[in-house]
Amino acid sequence: MKWRTYFTIVGLAALLLAGYNSNVWANFTSHYNPAPEKANKNEPSGNEASDLSLKSKEFTVIDESGAIKDVDFETETPDQNNGIVPTNLKVPSVDIDAPVTKVGVLDNGQMGVPKDDTTVGWFEPGTKPGNTGNSVVAGHVDNQSGPAVFYYLKDLQKGDEIIVTNEEGKELIYVVQKLESYPADEAPIKEIFGKTDKKRLNLITCTGVFNYEKRTYLDRLVVYSELKSSLGEEKGEEKPQKDTDYDIKAPTNVEVNGTFITWHAVRVDGIAGYRVYRSKNGEDFEKVASISEHERKTYTDPEASKYTYYVTTVYLDGTESAPSKPAKAE
């Protein structure tokens, strides 16, 4: 019976993944007939989220009793309480001001869509805006009579701001990082919906040529943006974010010497560890290491001379600081 249960669970998971990879884009068309939505609301919160944060292995933390725990902040659960449920979305540079509704996963495995072309849909089973991870919002590009809510999304430029608000009036500001177009059946689902250490908001709509036979556009446009308070200054100055009650301090004195990247520890309570990021062009950084708070503040990279680095501080609640001042070999 145990094996039968195991294979049943694995089979269901495989079916769900296949549905996402093949059909998640199917409903983002201008001529649409959305079916009733059935959202997945099994999202952990409160104590459940705290328990989940102790079940992985990004950082090893020693608590006050001397016990060792493994902590993972690769998903949104550690900073779940920082996120908001969006009710409005504004993009001032292209004059978008639209209400936000929740959408989920339909019975056929597809992502739900807004019920009208003046409203945008936030993918509720995913990440909340303000949390670590990819939060996804979708909207229609046009209808049979003309432009819809996301018609001018293609005119956005890097640096433009996107503002999401909840029903209490709390605002979060995101900054556009890039725009990408993909064939409808080749979009990178993992990059758009999957795990990330950054706090992102991704806007999706249709683009390209309309296929009258299939009644859909052939391409999808994705606008990638990042929470403004989590971005460092363009010139590398430290810029702490303040979406908690304390200043989130970035490491100082980051240096690259030979194959070693070193930095000074942040001397405050509640630190889980540090993340090391690197970039060849000084702009597109990727995470390469996670160093626990009790370990030496150093990372070894045989190719260190080819990269620029920055380091962030990660707190026990999962909150990540802004980047440190970038550093590279002399």
Mean pLDDT over each residue of the chain, to the nearest integer: 75
Can you give the three-state secondary structure of 88-155, one letter per residue? Answer: EEEEHHHCEEEEEEEECECCCCCECCCCCCCCEEEECCCCCCCCCEEEEEECCCECCCCECCCHHHHH
Report whether pLDDT(94) > 80: yes
H/E run at residue 275? strand 271-279
H/E run at residue 12? helix 2-23
Report whether pLDDT(55) > 60: no
* Assessment of whether the complete model's pTM goes beyond 0.75: no
Report whether pLDDT(275) > 80: yes
pLDDT band at 271 (very low <50, low <70, confident <90, very high): confident
Q: Cβ distance 290 to 217 under 8 Å?
A: no
The per-residue pLDDT for 194 is: 85
Domain of residue 286 covers 252-328
For range 279-308, the mean pLDDT: 92
Q: What percent of the chain has pLDDT over 70?
A: 66
CATH number at residue 30: 2.40.260.10
For range 135-141, the mean pLDDT: 89
Local structure of residue 320 (DSSP, 8 states): B
Say how far apart CA 2 and CA 118 lie, in whole Å: 49
Residue 52 belongs to some domain of the structure = no
Q: Cβ distance 288 to 281 under 8 Å?
A: no
Q: pLDDT: is 20 or 309 the higher one?
A: 309
Look at residues 43, 40, 42 and name the one whose alpha carbon lies nearest to residue 109.
40
Are 280 and 218 in a shared domain?
no
Are 92 and 214 in a shared domain?
yes
Residue 237 belongs to some domain of the structure = no
Report whether pLDDT(4) > 90: no
Are 273 and 223 in a shared domain?
no
Report whether pLDDT(161) > 60: yes
Are 289 and 215 in a shared domain?
no
Say how far apart CA 317 and CA 330 lie, in whole Å: 36
Say how far apart CA 27 and CA 122 lie, in whole Å: 14
Are 196 and 258 in a shared domain?
no
